[in-house]
């Protein structure tokens, strides 16, 4: 288990409570079924090329909530499950809010709609964990806006809201120690749009013919 700050462990207790009891929204509505959406689904065509590489056969869904990789209609066009859609052999889910605590080093680590729920002092610890568990590809999506959900103490559930380039700086800095891991960073600025940064490996920075490494990003709409 990661060594998180006291605030970090307190947050996990809140998320466990929300997964069990539901949560209140900022508009006053009570949501009974918490964190059951398969958040990767709306990004399936954004990440498809990277995750369908021949060498990607195993995935760890880090903070996967209630995602079901075997359920049909992950892709509405083909009716395929996520496991079929990405041509995977094995998927494991780590979700401390649901007491799924086994973390398996995998070809690809997927972390969608998680980091904004982490206490800011624990961000580096968690991102390092993502890299350590990824053999080849790391796919991160982070929300850069306030959530509709509230924590049991009344705070917004997105406790660390930062702009996309802040997250890019965090990921780039930690990636320096994992130079052969391909990194795909998607920063959502709204629920349905955001910025996808150019996929990179740090090893490519060292082999480039120039010293300057551009921060390239493009707007996207996952649907």
What tens digit of pLDDT does each residue of 185-195 get?
A: 999 999 889 99
Question: Could you tell me the CATH number of the domain that includes residue 126?
Answer: 3.40.50
Q: Which two tokens stand for residue 27?
A: 């508009």
1 in any annotated domain = no
Enclosing domain of residue 33: 6-220
Say if 56 falls within a structural domain.
yes
Answer yes or no: is 98 within a domain: yes
Residue 54, in any domain of the structure: yes
Instruction: Give me the number of domains the chain comprises.
Output: 1
Domain membership of residue 41 (yes or no) is yes
DSSP state of 188: E
Going residue by residue through the chain, which has 223 residues, state the pLDDT in tens, using 9 for 90 and above: 689 999 999 999 999 999 999 999 999 999 988 777 899 999 999 999 999 999 999 999 999 988 999 999 999 999 999 999 999 999 999 999 999 999 999 999 999 999 999 999 999 999 999 999 999 999 999 999 999 999 999 999 999 999 999 999 999 999 999 999 999 999 999 988 999 999 999 999 999 999 998 887 777 765 5
What is the rounded CA–CA span in Å between residue 114 and residue 214?
Answer: 26
As a whole number of angstroms, the distance between CA 131 and CA 86 comes to 21
Under 8 Å between Cβ of 80 and 72: yes
């Amino acid at each position: 288990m990661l060594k998180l700050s006291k605030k970090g462990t307190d947050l996990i207790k809140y998320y466990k409570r929300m997964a069990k009891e539901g949560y209140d929204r900022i508009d006053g509505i009570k949501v009974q079924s918490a964190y059951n959406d398969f958040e990767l689904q709306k990004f399936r065509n954004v990440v498809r090329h990277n995750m369908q590489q021949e060498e990607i056969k195993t995935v760890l869904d880090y903070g996967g909530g209630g995602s079901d990789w075997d359920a049909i209609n992950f892709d509405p066009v083909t009716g395929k499950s996520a496991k079929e859609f990405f041509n995977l052999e094995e998927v494991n889910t780590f979700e401390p809010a649901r007491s799924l605590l086994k973390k398996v080093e995998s070809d690809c680590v997927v972390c969608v709609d998680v980091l904004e729920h982490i206490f800011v002092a624990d961000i580096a610890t968690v991102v390092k964990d993502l890299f350590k568990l990824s053999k080849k590809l790391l796919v991160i999506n982070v929300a850069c806006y306030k959530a509709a959900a509230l924590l049991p103490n009344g705070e917004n559930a997105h406790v660390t809201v930062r702009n996309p380039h802040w997250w890019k700086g965090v990921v780039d800095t930690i990636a320096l120690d994992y130079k052969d891991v391909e990194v795909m960073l998607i920063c959502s600025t709204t629920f349905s749009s955001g910025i996808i940064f150019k996929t990179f490996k740090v090893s490519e920075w060292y082999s480039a013919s120039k010293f300057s490494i551009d921060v390239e990003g493009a707007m996207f709409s996952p649907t």
